[in-house]
């Protein structure tokens, strides 16, 4: 079974600084997707960025970028120029191919609570 590990329960960063959230995962698949979701106090799950494993280029979305190391099974999220609105829980998630032999759906890490200091 796939597992996703986020080793930082909480991170704190000064506004305008850069912060990196860590995520490692375990899978025997070669083709899969990885995601970072943001969950603000409103509870809504918001997709921040996604990475397709067959793509070597790291995904980037404005101030958000990832460092995808497939061999190391590592998928970190970098937030540049942190803003107060970035304060939230961040979840790393894995999704693999569905062959019908196991459950479909996302496997989530336990989350990292990001605090932005003004």
Partner 1 sequence: NAGVTQTPKFQVLKTGQSMTLQCAQDMNHNSMYWYRQDPGMGLRLIYYSASEGTTDKGEVPNGYNVSRLNKREFSLRLESAAPSQTSVYFCASSVRTGNTEAFFGQGTRLTVV
Nearer to partner 1, 85 or 100 (CB): 100
State in angstroms the smallest separation of the CB of 105 from partner 1: 4
Determine, following the binding rule CB under 8 A, whether residue 70 of this chain makes contact with partner 1.
Answer: no
Give Cα 18 distance to the centre of its chain: 16
User: Interface with partner 1 includes 110 (CB under 8 A)?
Assistant: yes
Residue selected from 18, 40, 69, 98 as contacting partner 1 according to rule CB under 8 A: 98
- Residue 56 within binding range of partner 1, rule CB under 8 A: no
Residues that bind partner 1 (rule: CB under 8 A) add up to a total of: 27
Alpha carbon distance 114, 12 (integer Å): 6
Q: Does 35 bind partner 1 (CB under 8 A)?
A: yes
Residues 6 or more apart whose CB falls under 8 angstroms from that of 79 comprise 13, 18, 19, 20, 21, 63, 64, 86, 114
The per-residue DSSP string of 39-63 comes to E-TT---EEEEEEETT--SPPEETT
For the chain, what's the residue count? Answer: 118
Name which of residues 78 to 97 contact partner 1 (CB under 8 A): 91, 95-97
Q: Which of 13, 22, 32, 58 binds partner 1 (CB under 8 A)?
A: 32
Question: Is residue 53 a contact partner of residue 75, using CB atoms and an 8 Å limit?
Answer: no
Residues near partner 1, by CB under 8 A: 4, 9, 31-33, 35, 37, 42-45, 47, 50, 52, 91, 95-98, 103-106, 108-111
């Amino acid at each position: 079974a796939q597992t996703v590990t986020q080793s930082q329960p909480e991170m704190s960063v000064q506004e305008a600084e850069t912060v990196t959230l860590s995520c490692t995962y375990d899978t025997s698949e070669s083709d899969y997707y990885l995601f970072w979701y943001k969950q603000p106090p409103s509870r809504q799950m918001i997709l921040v960025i996604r990475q397709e494993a067959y793509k070597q280029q790291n995904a980037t979305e404005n101030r958000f970028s990832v460092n995808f190391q497939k061999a190391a099974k590592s998928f970190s999220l970098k937030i540049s120029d942190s803003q107060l609105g970035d304060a939230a829980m961040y979840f790393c998630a894995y999704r693999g191919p569905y062959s019908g032999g196991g459950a479909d759906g996302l496997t989530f890490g336990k989350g990292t609570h990001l605090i932005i200091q003004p």
